[in-house]
Amino acid sequence: MKKSLLALAAGAFALGAAEFVMMGILPQAAEAMHVSIPSAGHFISAYAIGVCAGTVILVFGRKIPPKRLILAFIVLIIIGNLLSALSLNAPMLIAARFIAGLPHGAFFGTATLIAKSVADPGKEAKAVSMMVTGQTVANMIGVPAGTLLAQHMSWRMTFAALSIWALLTLLLVALWVPDVAAIKDAGIAGQFRFLRRRGPWFILGAVFVGNTGIFCWWSYVSPWLIHIGGFSASVVPALMMLAGFGMVVGGLSGGMLTDNWRHAGTAALGQSISAIGLLLVFLIPGSAVSTGILTFWVAFGLFFISSPQQILMVEAGEGGGELIGGAAVQVAFNLGNAVGSLVGGIALADGGDYHLPALAGVPFAVFAVVLLIVYSWRHETHTGAINRLRQVHPEAIGSTPETTQV
C-alpha cells in the first residue's frame, strides 16, 4: 500500500470507530450523563446529523487544495472526540458528537479524490478500497477495542484514544499525502449542477435504500446473535470482529472487481449479495453456525459496494462537483442507517421476532439492486475495457504472425 493511502486509511479508521463505537459504549455513557438508554440514542443521531451538515464545508472550501481540507477535517476529528471525552452533561456530549460527525462525509469525498489521483492507471477503485479499508478495520478492531476499554476503564478513555489516534493521523497526512490540485471552481451553484441529471440520483437512491434495508437488521444484530444464534453476550464482540473481517474482505474484493468491470454492475452484485443474505436471515431458523456465516455474509456485501459507489459519484460530479458527489454518498449512507434502524425497530416491535427486521429490509435491498441495474444499463455503456486490452506479440508466445491478437 502506498504511504499516502495508508495515511488516508488511518483517517477513515478514526471516523469509522468514532461513528460506531457509541453503540458499544452506550450504557456507560448513558449512566455517566444521567439519561435513559432511549435518550442516549441522541448521542448516535447527533453524529449522523453532523455528517449531513458537514457537507456544507465542501461547498465553501472548493478552492482549498484537497490535502489542506483533509488536515482540517482531522483537526475536527480531534476536537470532536476530545470534547466527547470531556463532556460534563448530555447536551455537551450531543454537541461534541455533532462536531465529531461534521468531517465524516467531507473527508471521504475528498479522500476518494486524492486516492484516485495517486492511484496507478486502471487501479483507481483498488486505491479507493484501500482508503475505505480503514473504516472496515475500525469495525473489526477499533469498535471492539473501544468497547472493551469502556468496560474495563472508562468510556471517556475510548474517545481520548481516538483523539490521540487522530493526532498521529494528522502527522501522517502532513508527511505522506502529496499535494493534489484543487478541483475546478464551478462556483457554489456549479458544484451541484451534476444533480440536475437523473443518473446521480439513481446512485444516491441505491445507497439510501440499500443501507436502509441492511440496517433494518444490522441495527439489532447483537440481540439477534444472542436470541437466534444462542451466543452469550461475552462472545458478541468476537462476532463483531468476524463481521469487520467480512467488511475488509468485501471492500477490497469490490475495489478489485470495479477496476475490471462496470462500476454500477459491481455495486449491484454486492447489493444482491446483501439482499440474499437478509432473506436467508429470515428463512433460516438459526444456529451458532448459520448466524456466524450470515453475519460475515451481509457484512461482506455491505462494503463490497463502497468503492464503486464512491467512484461513481465522484465521476458523476466531474467539472466542479467531485467533492460534493463523494460526500453525498456518506450522507445517503447515514440517512439509510437512521431510517433502517427505525423500520427494523417497528418490525421487531411486532412480536419481538428477531427474524422480522431482516424481512423488512429485503424489499429495500432489492430496490437498490434494481436502481443500480437500471443505472448500469442506461448510463454505463462505456466500461473502459477496451483501454485495458494489451497487444500480444507473436514472438513472445511462439505463434505465427497470422495468430497475432489484441
Q: Which amino acid is at 249?
A: V
Q: Is residue 94 in some structural domain?
A: yes
Query: pLDDT value at position 199?
Result: 85
Span 37-62, mean pLDDT? 79
Do 199 and 177 lie in one domain? The reply is no
Give a yes or no: residue 97 inside a domain. Answer: yes
- Average of pLDDT values for 191-213? 88
Q: How many CB atoms lie within 10 A of CB 120?
A: 10
**What's the mean pLDDT when you consider all of the chain?**
84
Do 189 and 332 belong together in one domain? Answer: yes
pLDDT of 183 over the 90 cut: no
202 in the same domain as 123 = no
Q: Are 64 and 84 in contact (CB under 8 A)?
A: no
Same domain, 107 and 238: no
Q: At what angle do helices 198-218 and 288-304 cross, to 10 degrees?
A: 160
Q: Tell me, what's the pLDDT at 393?
A: 64
In the prediction, which pLDDT does 68 show?
92
Give the mean model confidence (pLDDT) for residues 249-272. 87
Number of domains in the chain: 2
**pLDDT of 189 above 50:** yes
Q: Which long-range contacts (CB under 8 A, 24 or more apart) does 6-9 make?
A: 6/172, 6/176, 7/169, 7/172, 7/173, 7/175, 7/176, 7/177, 8/70, 8/111, 8/114, 8/115, 8/131, 8/134, 8/173, 8/177, 9/130, 9/131, 9/132, 9/133, 9/134, 9/137
pLDDT band at 387 (very low <50, low <70, confident <90, very high): low
Three-class SS state of 108: helix
Per-residue model confidence (pLDDT) at position 38: 62
> What are the phi and psi torsion angles at 286 (to 5°)?
115, 135
Tell me what pLDDT residue 395 has. Answer: 61
Owning domain of residue 141: 1-182
**Within a domain: 332:** yes
* 402: confidence class by pLDDT, cuts 50, 70, 90: very low
pLDDT digits (tens, 9 = 90+) for 126-176: 888 888 888 888 888 888 888 788 878 888 999 999 999 999 999 999 999
**Looking at the structure, do residues 240 and 318 belong to the same domain, yes or no?**
yes
Is the pLDDT at 400 greater than 60? The verdict is no
Please check whether residues 198 and 137 belong to one and the same domain: no
Residues 156 and 189 in one domain: no
Of residues 143 and 178, more confidence is placed in: 178
Burial, 386: exposed, middle or buried (Cβ in 10 Å; 0-12, 13-18, 19+)? exposed
CB 202 within 8 A of CB 267: no
For residues 279 and 360, what is the distance between their CA atoms, to the nearest angstrom?
A: 10
Binned at pLDDT 50, 70 and 90, residue 350 comes out as low
User: 184 CB contacts (<8 Å, ≥6 apart)?
Assistant: 319, 320
Residues 276 and 292 in one domain: yes
| pTM, two decimal places | 0.77
* pLDDT at site 403: 43
Q: Is 393 part of any domain?
A: no
* 67/163 same-domain check: yes
404, part of any domain: no
pLDDT score recorded for residue 166: 95
88 shares a domain with 154: yes
pLDDT-derived band of residue 236, with 50, 70 and 90 as boundaries? confident
- Specify whether 128 is located in the same domain as 1: yes
CATH code at 150?
Answer: 1.20.1250.20
CB 243 within 8 A of CB 224: no
**Band of the pLDDT at 406, cuts 50, 70, 90?**
very low
Of 182, 216, 247, which one is at a domain's C-terminal end? 182
